[in-house]
Amino acid sequence: MPHSQLHAKGFVGALIEKLLGASATSKALPDFPELGIELKTIPVRPDGRPRESTFVCTIELADIADSEWETSRVRNKLAEVLWVPIEADPRTILPERRVGTPFLWKLEGAWEKTLRADWEELASLVGRGQTELITAHLGVALQVRPKARDASARRRAFDEDGVAYRELPRGFYLRSSFTEAIIAQQFGRRTRAETSARRTRNG
DNA sequence: GGCTGATCATTA
DNA sequence: TAATGATCAGCC
């Protein structure tokens, strides 16, 4: 066990992977390559809403310019996901947190349409070597945020002219509004956005 | 309270 | 260093 919860980021996710026998840990592949299924634990509040966004993968630096959504790492990772909700009140110590009902989810229909639109917008910026212009404000459901040891970390990258430079490593994340909708659909509940819209309509 | 940018652990 | 697993923390 980690010594404190501050140092336990990722511990529960890695634990569940080990328990379920995931084989592609630490690789740019779904956790269960033979099944094409990715395992994601998701921290939830008592009402089932996600507490945090969900990390998807790092950004494909060199090849994103001429890659397509169909073969992107984002789509490959999220094609089919086993979501495992985990009770995640920071005041509850790890051994006392409960595991919710896991469920399988496929990236299809409106889910895919939404992510694809975001990905194409973001990927075109990355492909032009303009990752420094990207902020987490972009993207309806998929966003790009730092993914590094700290703010001083840099990795080798190339701009649109092929000139090497060093940049802050970043990754793709799913906004919690998106995963909230996934969970709401699975368990037959309205999202907060839908509930407030309904309240407004009914005056 | 939500969101963005920063940060922590582990493995290869 | 860069991939994986994520959550923390402070500004709005």
Distance CA A8, CA A23 (A): 21
Tell me which protein residue sits closest to nucleotide C2, measuring alpha carbon to C1'.
Answer: A155
Look at the domain A11-194 and name its fold.
ECO RV Endonuclease; Chain A (3.40.600)
Closest CA to A123 of A146, A148, A142, A147: A142
Distance A124 CA to C4 C1' (A): 25
Residue A199 in 3-state DSSP? helix
Half-sphere exposure of A53 (CA within 13 A, CB side): 18
Q: One-letter amino acid identity for A96?
A: E
Q: Where are the domains of chain A?
A: 11-194
Answer whether A39's CB lies under 8 Å from A22's CB.
yes
Distance CA A40, CA A102 (A): 10
Q: Which nt is closest to the CA of A52, judged by C1'? A: C7
Q: Which nucleotides of C are covered by protein (CB under 7 A)?
A: 1-9
Joined together, the tokens standing for residue A143 give 């966003």
Half-sphere exposure of A106 (CA within 13 A, CB side): 4
Q: Which nt is closest to the CA of A152, judged by C1'? A: B6
Distance CA A82, CA A105 (A): 6
Q: For strand B, is any atom closer than 7 Å to the CB of A7? A: yes
* Residuewise pLDDT in 10s, chain A (203 residues): 676 788 899 999 999 999 999 986 767 788 998 899 999 999 999 999 999 999 999 997 767 777 899 999 999 999 999 999 999 998 899 999 999 999 999 999 999 999 999 999 998 888 887 888 899 999 999 999 999 999 999 998 887 788 888 999 999 999 999 999 999 999 987 676 766 666 666 64
Closest CA to A50 of A183, A187, A151: A183
Task: Flag whether the pTM goes above 0.85.
Answer: yes
